[in-house]
Amino acid sequence: MTIIRILLIEDDSELALILTNFLTKHDMEVIGAEDPYMGLSLLNQYSFDLVILDLTLPGMDGLEVIPKIRATGNIPIIISSARDDITDKVIGLERGADDYMPKPYDPRELVTRIKTILRRTNASEEAAKKEEQLFEIDKAANAIIFKGHMLELTAAEFDILSTLINHKNGSISREQLIYDSDHIDDESSIKNIDVMISRIRHKLAKIDSEKSYIKPIRGVGYMLTDRV
């Protein structure tokens, strides 16, 4: 079971204890900070899944803390505040908070909000990874998947494309492509590499004809880019 790590920045010690005890019962580990400076320090030292942030804090207003948290990454932030001014809610969300919970609230609702936000965040991250990872190498099957489609490649083509993928967004020489392949004779000509590259491009174009993913690098060789 995965433990959710929560940073609770809250100066009300009684409320902090109540929330900590309740969240702990729902598979969450809560680390508390009574002031924003301690909270920011903890955030820089440890890994957390989500921040619960009070607005009325000693030394720095919570609204000022939000951009400082955002500067460290995209960790989800739930504002937990007794301030009922709609302006605070608008500013908080505009500065990067993911949710706003006016006190008092039922801790059960907080648990639901936390799980909902993390579910949404994790789904977005997974979608982004799939979007970025256009090429996947299945070494066990000696196969390459491009945009969810398995490519029909010869052994030599598999070697060439695998090498390009492993050096993606960087140039690699034709000689290196020959050297790194287990299925291309060392005496093969540069022209043979160009022919196989052309065949690989053709197979990629059958799946996506809008972009050329393998680019020639003058005087060097080729480069594969997975940047969309």
Taking only the tens place, the pLDDT of each residue in 23-37 is 999 999 999 999 999
Contact (Cβ atoms closer than 8 angstroms) between residue 217 and residue 198: no
Taking only the tens place, the pLDDT of each residue in 180-208 is 888 887 767 778 899 999 999 999 999 99
Entry pTM = 0.60
Domain 135-224 adopts which CATH fold? Arc Repressor Mutant, subunit A (1.10.10)
Taking only the tens place, the pLDDT of each residue in 56-98 is 999 999 999 999 999 888 999 999 999 988 999 999 999 999 9
Tell which CATH classification among 3.55.50.30, 3.40.50.620, 3.40.1370.10, 3.40.50.2300 matches the domain 4-131: 3.40.50.2300
Q: Where are the domains of the chain?
A: 4-131, 135-224
Cα gap 91→97, rounded to integer Å: 9
In this prediction, residue 53 carries a pLDDT of: 98
Cα gap 186→183, rounded to integer Å: 9
